Amino acid sequence: MLVDEDRADHIDLNFGCPVPKVTRKGGGAALPWKSELFSAIVKSAVDAAGEIPVTVKMRKGIDQDHLTFLDAGKAARDAGVTAVALHARTAEDYYSGQADWSAIAQLRQALPDVQVLGNGDIWSAQDAVEMMKQTGVDGVVVGRGCLGRPWLFADLEKAITDYLAGTESQTKNAAPNLGEVADAFYRHAELLTEFFEDEGRACRDIRKHVAWYFKGYPVGGEFRAALSLANSLEEIRNLLSTLERALPYPGDEAEGPRGRLGSPKSCALPENWLDSRALSDNHRNQLQLAELSVSGGF
């Protein structure tokens, strides 16, 4: 449907979600364990997409005793994907600890004939270049690292371009002052309004980004709280106008991890999911019911 209606330039199949409401139905990071099902889904997507590139993102596996990334990567390659991206954590790891970049290097070595992308703990352009040096990947995928930092992508483009050209980048990372951050925040809210076609919904959605955008900036708790309660673009604009726009970038206080962290947790799975990598009739029925209960399936 996406291809037929000319709605996509690229289709990414996300098999990396560790959220319990997804994995307990056999979706997300749980699905590659069922190897034939995984292969069938990826092959069907590639065939249906035609000339539209299809990529796959996945995790190392369900836990350290049930790793799937190497065989899933090979299956995705054989199905004809353009690239395979690996978030170097298991579903059990969730977002805790350090990403295991050595697993990305293993995947790169195992798949010399398809693009491999690395994901996990890319908080800066320097992190991206370091991952590429350590693992040999063709590029990186950024998730939580860009939250509240849309300028990170310009940093990445410059640093990676220089690295691939064999030169060390001398360009400093973006260091926006408070006014520039405020402008980016407001533009984000405007774009959400255009996307949702609902200003109130957009203002509610942008609330989760307040702490990320203003991390490290001395704007005060009252301002953050008020911005998190704004119900219109006008309210947001008025609140942002009270900021001291010339305040400089706070440096390290604005850097580093953001988004979900937490501790490892057992991956919620359908009953007896790990008994076999083949899909039982019972699990097939469960997956069909799960697909009917959500918009867009897996």
Q: Do residues 91 and 182 both lie within one domain?
A: no
Specify the pLDDT at position 298.
Answer: 38
Query: Annotated catalytic, 203?
Result: no
Q: Is residue 88 a contact partner of residue 60, using CB atoms and an 8 Å limit?
A: yes
Count of the separate structural domains present in the chain: 2
CATH number where 212 lies: 1.10.1200
pLDDT at 286 (0 to 100) = 86
Cα–Cα distance for residue pair 241/154, rounded to 1 Å? 26
253 domain-assigned: no
Domain of residue 282, CATH code: 3.20.20.70
Inside any domain, residue 162: yes
146 and 125 share a domain?
yes
Phi, psi of 119 (to 5 degrees): -145, 140
Does 198 map to a domain? yes
Confidence (pLDDT) at 294: 62
Contact in structure between 49 and 293 (CB atoms under 8 Å)? no
Angle at Cα 86 formed by Cα 210 and Cα 170, nearest 5°? 65
Token pair, residue 29, equals 């990071």
Q: Are residues 90 and 150 in the same domain?
A: yes
3 domain residue, yes or no: no
Pure H helices in the chain:
20-23, 35-49, 69-79, 101-110, 125-135, 152-164, 178-196, 199-205, 210-213, 221-227, 233-240, 281-293
> Does 190 lie in the same domain as 156?
no
Question: What are residue 288's phi and psi, to 5 degrees?
Answer: -65, -40
Which H or E run contains 28?
none
For residues 132 and 118, the answer to whether their CB atoms sit within 8 Å is yes
Asked, for residue 5, whether it belongs to a domain, the answer is no
For residues 162, 166, 172 and 173, what is the CA-based torsion angle, rounded to 10 degrees?
50
Nearest partner of 233 among 276, 201, 279, 209, judged by Cα: 201
241 & 185 share domain: yes
C-alpha distance across the termini of the chain, in Å? 15
- Of the candidates 116, 135, 18, the residue with the CA atom closest to the CA atom of residue 73: 116
With the CA atoms of 7, 13, 19 and 22 taken in that order, what torsion angle do they form, in degrees rounded to the nearest 10?
80
What's the pTM?
0.90
Q: Is residue 96 part of a domain?
A: yes
CA dist 61 and 56 (Å) reads 14
State the catalytic residue, choosing from 17, 146, 203, 267: 17
- Does residue 228 form part of some domain? yes
Residue 83 is part of which domain span? 11-174+259-293
pLDDT tens digits in sequence order for the chain, 298 residues long: 677 777 789 999 999 999 999 999 999 999 999 999 999 999 999 999 999 999 999 999 999 999 999 999 999 999 999 999 999 999 999 999 999 999 999 999 999 999 999 999 999 999 999 999 999 999 999 999 999 999 999 999 999 999 999 887 666 889 999 999 999 999 999 999 999 999 999 999 999 999 999 999 999 999 999 999 999 999 999 999 999 999 999 999 999 888 777 789 999 999 999 999 999 989 998 888 887 766 444 3
Same domain, 69 and 144: yes
139 and 284 housed in the same domain: yes
Whole-Å CA distances, 206 to 121, 145, 159, 213, 230? 23, 17, 29, 10, 10
Q: What is the pLDDT of residue 1?
A: 65
Please give the Cα distance from 56 to 18 (Å, whole number).
Answer: 15
DSSP string, 46-68: HHHHTTS-EEEEEESEEETTEE-
Helix then strand then coil, % of the chain, to nearest 5: 50, 10, 45
Residue 265 belongs to a domain: yes
* Residues 112 and 159 grouped into a single domain: yes
Are residues 200 and 151 located together in one domain of the fold?
no
Same domain? 93 vs 108: yes
Domain check: are 263 and 223 in the same one?
no
Co-location of 238 and 277 in the same domain: no
